[in-house]
Structure 1
C-alpha cells in the first residue's frame, strides 16, 4: 500500500479536544443560542399570523420576508464587520432585532398587516451575522488546521440543533401560552446568545487579517461561473427547507395536531445533526465535488416518499433522511467555496453562500404558503428544490474542482 493511502501520522483530533480549547465552547454555545431565532422566528411568525386572524398564506409570506431580508443583508453586515469589528455590529443588531420581534404582536390595533410586514422585514435585516462571524474567528481561535477542520464539522453539524430545539420550543410555548410569548422568548435568547459571543475576547479583538485588507481591491469580481452555479444550486437546498417549514404547519392543521409544526422540522434537523457528526468523524477520500453531488442526490431521494402523502408518523421518520444529508451538502459547499473564491475574499464568499441558502428558503416558504391548501403540491416542493440543486451541480461538473486541489476534505488555505 502506498504511503499516501496510510492514515495521517498525527491522531485525529476529537470533538472533546476542540471543545476543550480556549473560548471554543463559549463561542459555539453563544452562536447556537444567538442563532436560535433563525429556527424559532419563521415558525413563530406563521403561528402568530394564523392565530391573529390572518391566513396561512400571509403568515408564510411574513416568514419568507423575514428569512429573505436576513439573507440579503448578510454581505452588507459582513462588510461592516470587516470595517468596524464584530462587537460593533453584533450587539446593536441583536438589540434592534429583539425589540422588533417583541413588538410584532402589538401590530394588530396599530396598522395591521402593513405594519407587521414592515416590522418583519426590519427584523430580518437586523439579525446578527453570527454564522459568518464564527467562521471568521476559527483561524485565530484554533491555529492548528486539524482542529479547525474538526471545529468546522462540529459547527456545521450542531446547527441542526437550531431547527430541533427552535421549532419544538415555539410549538410548546404557543400551545401552552400564545405565539406572542414564543416571539418574546425568541428575542431574549437571541440577544443573550449574541452578547455571549460579542463580549468574548476573540470576537472583541477580531479584525480582518492584514493581507485580506491590503488586497481587498485586487479582485473586483468575486463571482466565477463555478461559484455562481454553486450558489444558485444552494438556493434549491434552501427552497426545500423553507417549503418543509410551511408544509409542517399545514400538516399540523390537516391532522389537528399542533405540535407537528415543531416535530416535523425537529425530526429533519435531528437527522441533520446526527449526519453532520458522523460526517465530521470520518476520513473521506475522493474529491469534495464528488461528495457534494452524491450528498445532494441523497438529499433529493430522501424527499420523494412524501409524494405518497404519508401520515404524521411516517412523515416524521421520512424527513429525517434528507436531513441526514443536509449538513454534508452544506459542509462540502463551504469547502468548495473556499477553494473557488479569491484568497482575500473568502469571508465575503461565505456571506454570499449564506445568502443563497436563505434566499432559497424564503422563496420556498412563500410558495409553500400559497400552495398550503394543496397537499400534494406542498409535499412535492422540497423535492423540487433538491432536484434543482442537483441539476445545477451536475451542470457545473468539473468546474467545482480547481486544478491541483487535494482530494481530501482537510484542504485549507
Structure 2
C-alpha cells in the first residue's frame, strides 16, 4: 500500500541523500567548489615561491574573489536561459585553463599577466553552487526543502576545511604552483560530475526576462542587503581569530577559532535538518538572524584560549541555518525564470561582504580586541535589523 504525501514520515538526512541525483550532485558540487577556498592560499604561496611580494599575492587573491562575485550573477542568468550543463562546462574550461597557465608563469617577472589570469579564473568560476540550490526545490519533496538546504549549507564547511589543507599539501608534496594545478583539476572534475547528471541537463523554458532579472524583486533586495552584512561577519572573523592568537601568543588559535566556527556550523546545520516542523522560512530566517547576532556577544570579552574556542562555536550553530533559510527565501522571492541568477546574487553579495569585513576588521585591529570583535557583532546585528525592518517585503508577517 502506498503512503500518501500527507502521511509520509518526514525524511531524514540519510534518506534525502538517497533521493535520485541528490548525493552525486552534492558531491560533485563540493569538489568543483574546492578552488574557492584553495585558490586564495594557492596564489599567496605561489607568489612567495616566485619571490614576489606578499602584497602581490594578496592582491591576486582579492582579484580572484572580486571577479568571482561579478561573474556568478552573469553566469547564473545564462543558466536560467539555457541549462547548467551548457554553461558550467564552458566556464570550467576557461577557469581551468587560467589556473593551468598560472602554474607556468613567473609571478615576480609577469605580475600583470598573473593578475589577468587570476581575474579570469575567478570570473569564469562555474556557477555550481547557485545552480545546485536552484535545483533542490525540483528534486526534493517540498516538506523536506529546509532539510536539503540545511545539509547543503552545513556540507559547504567541508570545502573551507578541505580546500586550504589540500592547497598546503600540494605545496608540500609538489610545489606551490601545484596547488593551482589542483584548482584546475578539481574545477573540471567537479563540474563534469555535475554536468552529466540529468537534472543539470534540463533546459529552462524560453521566456522573456526583465533586464533587472531577480533584482526587480524588492523583497530580494532586502535579503541581499542583509546578506551583505552577514558576509561582513564571515570576513572579519579570521582577522578576529588572528588578533586573539597574537594577544595570547598562541599562533594555533588563528586556525582553531575559524575551525570551531565551522564545527558549530556543521552541528547547527545537522540539527536544523532534523527539525520536523520548522517555522515558515521567512520567520525562521529572522529568528536565526537574531540568534546569530546574540552569539557574537561572548566574543567581545577577553577570555582564556579555551573559552575563546568555545565561544567561537556559538555563532557557528546559527551559521548553516542562516544560509539554509536565506537560500530558501531567495528561491521563493525570485521571479519566475531567475532562480539561479538570484542564488548567484546572494552568493556574490555575501562574498563582497566578506571582503568588506576583512578590510574593516584589519583597519580596526590596531584599536584592540574589543573593537575588532565588534565588527562581526555589528555585521550580524545589522543583518538581523535589516530582516526585521523589511519583514513585510520578505513576507515575515
Q: Give TM-score scaled by structure 2 length.
A: 0.84
Which residue number in structure 2 is paired with residue 353 of structure 1? 346
Task: Give 1:274 shift.
Answer: 1.7
Q: Distance in 2 between matches of 1:34 and 1:346?
A: 20
CA drift of 1:173 comes to: 4.9
Q: 1:207 aligns with which of 203, 210, 218?
A: 203
Cα distance, 1:230–1:84 mapped onto 2, change above 3 Å? closer
TM-superposed deviation, 1:101:
3.4
44-53 or 146-155, larger mean C-alpha shift = 44-53
The answer for the alignment partner of 1:101 in structure 2 is: 99
**Counterpart-to-counterpart distance in 2, 1:257 and 1:104:** 34
Distance change (3 Å), C-alpha of 1:49 and 1:356? same
- Larger mean CA deviation between 335-344 and 229-238 belongs to 335-344
TM-aligned CA distance change 1:28 to 1:371, over 3 Å: same
Q: 148, 161, 165: which is aligned to 2:162?
A: 165
8 Å CA contact 1:234–1:389 kept in 2: the answer is yes
Question: Does residue 323 of structure 1 match 2:320?
Answer: no
The answer (yes or no) to whether the contact 2:80–2:340 under 8 Å persists in 1 is no
Stretch moving more, 302-311 or 126-135: 302-311
1:62-211 to 2 correspondences below 5 Å? 62-104=60-102, 106-112=105-111, 114-142=112-140, 144-171=141-168, 173=170, 179-203=176-200, 205-208=201-204, 210=205
Contact 1:167 1:263 in 2 (8 A): no
Give matches, 1:11-30, under 5 Å: 11-30=9-28
Does structure 2 retain, via aligned residues, the 8 Å contact 1:31–1:131?
yes
Equivalent-residue separation in structure 2 for 1:299 and 1:131 (angstroms):
23
1:124 to partner: Cα distance:
1.2
CA shift for structure 1 position 299? 1.7
**Structure 1 unaligned spans of 5+:** 1-6, 404-413
Which moved further from structure 2: 310-319 or 235-244? 310-319
| Corresponding position: 1:395 with 2:392 | no
- 1:410 corresponding residue in structure 2: none
Q: Aligned in 2, Cα 1:218/1:71: closer, same or farther, shift over 3 Å?
A: closer
Matched residue, 1:267? 260
Pairing of 1:356-375 with structure 2 (within 5 A): 356-370=349-363
Unaligned 5+ segments in structure 2 are: none
CA distance in 2, matches of 1:174, 1:310: 35
Q: By how many angstroms is 1:183 displaced?
A: 3.2
SS in 1 for 2:7: coil
Q: CA RMSD in A?
A: 3.3
CA distance 1:382–1:184, shift in 2 (3 Å): farther
* Contact 1:164–1:265, Cα closer than 8 Å, also in 2: no
